Amino acid sequence: MEIIKETYEKIKNMEIRGAGRIGRAAAKALKEYAIKISHLSEEEFIKKMKEAGNLLISARPTAVSLPNAVKYVLKGLNEDNPKERAIERADEFIESSLKAIEKIGKYGANRIKDGYTILTHCNSEAAISVIKTAYDEGKDIKVFCTETRPRNQGYITAKTLYDYGIDVTLIVDSAVRYFMRDIDIVIVGADAITANGCLVNKIGTSQIALIANESRVPFLTAAETYKFHPKTIVGELIEIEERDPEEVTTFEDKYKGIKIRNPAFDVTPAKYIDAIITEIGLIPPQGAWYIIEKYFGWLEK
């Protein structure tokens, strides 16, 4: 269980973060664990794999890529040769996740014209793939990155794009409305998409969507199909992770009575989203139900 516990800890303390990475790390840990316990009886193997999956899923509650990845791998336990199938399915998940990000890059880049200034928030591999692809296509683009308080994941995005040769400007989160007049398109990632087409992503995303809407700036999210949340189709709500207040600030003892709240994600209503860029193409938020039913219906059955 050591591999599983290690990955669980890394996801929990955000050493491994970002929805796609979390999903692939969980699949990889399950694969390595499966290899390690493959000498066990089939019954024992299945029991231990399920326990491992449950532990991994409990590491962070909001990014649905985590349970979707785990369930994808564990589905192999119901097939003939469960040991081999679990390992194969882990590889399948990782490979298809990486391919999805590449395809999203291609489809999303079609929405970026030469001369565009793009705004992004937090640190999303999928959104970065779109931006890098547009740049690779020779488009002259500029990118505004928000800091993304409290953990400043926007710095990772700014550095990644800068290293790639892209013109990058870092702004504080509260400067988004000030700069929106300079922005041609907003592209963010996704931790989850609900059956009614809402986007769950890093805290602050919904404010950006609202501002973009006010300024008639298109707001798109880049989301692999495993970011669509199967449980929302049966009415369950997505839990929004609330993290340690110390990530925000610490006051001296005299002010310990000041309450600090630190939600990590928020919900952007479907009406503010122009399109969801997936590996199977751009879909309107209203198409979310169809994606869940077609690709993840099995999770609920």
Binding site for ligand RUB (CB under 6 A): 17-21, 63, 122-126, 153, 188-191, 201-202, 264
Closest separation in Å from C-beta 159 to ligand RUB:
15
Q: Which residue is nearest to ligand RUB (CB)?
A: 189
How far, CA to CA in Å, does 2 sit from each of 5, 9, 32, 157, 187?
5, 11, 10, 31, 38
Indicate the residue among 53 and 204 with the shorter CB distance to ligand RUB.
Answer: 204
Is 184 catalytic? The answer is no
CB 123 → ligand RUB: shortest distance, Å?
A: 6
Alpha carbons 107 and 96: distance in angstroms, whole number: 16
Q: Which CB, 264 or 288, lies closer to ligand RUB?
A: 264
Q: How far is the CB of 60 from ligand RUB (least distance, A)?
A: 7
Which is nearer to ligand RUB, 153 or 232 (by Cβ)? 153
Nearer to ligand RUB, 20 or 197 (CB): 20
CB 273 within 8 A of CB 285: yes
**Residue 122 annotated in active site:** yes
Q: Say which of 145, 191, 198, 274 is annotated catalytic.
A: 191
Nearest to 212 by CA among 259, 180, 237: 180
Catalytic residue among 80, 91, 114, 122: 122
Query: Is residue 111 helix, strand or coil?
Result: coil
- Starting at the edge strand found earlier in the chain, the sheet holding 199-202 runs 192-193, 199-202, 265-268
> The tokens of 94 are what?
């990782």
Q: Which residues are catalytic?
A: 122, 191
